[in-house]
Amino acid sequence: MKIALLSYSTKPRGGVVHTLALAEALAALGEDVTVWTLGRGGDAGFFRPVAPAVRLRIVPFPDGPPEEAVGARILRSIAALRDAFDPSPYDVVHAQDCISANAVDGRCVRTVHHIDHFTTPELAACHERALVEPRARICVSRAVADELAAGWGLTAEVIPNGVAYDRFAATDPAARANWRSLLGRYVLTIGGIEPRKGSLDLLEAYALLRIKHPGARLVIAGGETLFDYRDYRARWEARAAELDVRPVVLGQVRDAELPSLVAAAGAFAFPSVKEGFGLAAMEALAAGVPLVVRELPVLREVFDGAARFADTPRDLAAALDAALTQDTPVHRAAGRALAARHTWDSAARHHLAFYRSLG
């Protein structure tokens, strides 16, 4: 089967991580897989090496003018990928986001990782078309599939994410020790500073947590995004100054260094207000790190029994305190067992069965 997987970026966001891992798992099963994406900012490759069995087609996408608005950038992204992509060689065209689904005019399978509610007109239209026009849909959790059914009357196949279990479960002790030497004892979150990640709530929780754990640091990694969150980040920085807290903002971390950064954390915080699965949180469980997540239906579905749940900043602080002080080998074993059940091989086989069911 000749399969094209389409994404919008080479950068390390959850949907891109998903695309590459799925492509490699499908190729390992003997399928002919090509990943198409946009090379933003001069990128000629992905954020990590990709298995040689997977073909890569990276469409150059130069930066626009400094004043380019989000809507204009979205339309330019769609046009660039549409102009470059030829669907004719492929048995399956599978888009992983609204930009790539719009680029193929909906003639695709679409994975709906989560449902957003945008206010930018071009982005709202892109999102809507990418939900209603594809020939078939996949969701990475039942909660998102139910949201799609309730809001749009659309059905979706549920295929949970896999996780690179061995990569996070067996990290180098010296690399973990290096992170601890550099950062001390820390609570980690991945995803940058943005509204969807609940960054302001986590900041408030951290200020409360420091009362009982004055030496603990909040470390924030990642944050590559298409969107302009400068106003939100300015609010976050102003609030950090008011609270007299100084989180460590690492930005993007090299892919090879990420597992040891996760594994060295005292706890992993995942207070997102909107998620489709929570891949970074599942990676933390694979690493044996205590996990605290937002009380959301999707995160309850995925992590029940293996995480602590909280909603308000005060509850989040209490849950992080418990994660730092009350975690046991039993808790860690439960988390590792959950992560180990989510394999990319299983996800790839489920995808293949679904592709074939479409005829």
Domains of the chain: 2-162+343-357 (3.40.50.2000), 165-341 (3.40.50.2000)
Kindly tell me if the per-residue pLDDT of 66 is higher than 70. Answer: yes
Residues for the chain: how many in total?
359
User: CA-CA distance, 319 to 311, in Å (whole number)?
Assistant: 10
Task: Please state, in angstroms and rounded to a whole number, the distance separating the CA atoms of residues 126 and 169.
Answer: 38
Q: What percent of the chain has pLDDT over 90?
A: 88
Residue reference for tokens 């549409």:
82
**For residue 226, what pLDDT is reported?**
64
Which tens digits make up the pLDDT trace of 282-329? 999 999 999 999 999 999 999 999 999 999 999 999 999 999 999 889
pLDDT of residue 227: 67
In tens, the pLDDT along 5-40 reads 999 999 998 899 999 999 999 999 999 999 999 998
Question: What is the mean pLDDT of the segment spanning 163-183?
Answer: 97
Banded model confidence at residue 120, pLDDT cuts 50, 70, 90: confident
Q: How confident is the model at residue 116 (pLDDT cuts 50, 70, 90)?
A: confident
- For the cut 70, the answer to whether the pLDDT of residue 353 exceeds it is yes
Least confident segment among 103-107, 275-279, 344-348: 103-107
Q: 211-267: per-residue pLDDT in tens?
A: 999 999 999 998 766 667 889 999 999 999 999 999 999 999 999 999 999 999 999
Q: Band the pLDDT of 123: cuts 50, 70, 90.
A: confident
On average, the pLDDT of the chain sits at 95
Look at phi and psi of residue 342 and say left if phi exceeds 0, alpha if psi is from -120 to 50, else beta.
Answer: beta
Residue with tokens 């990642």: 222
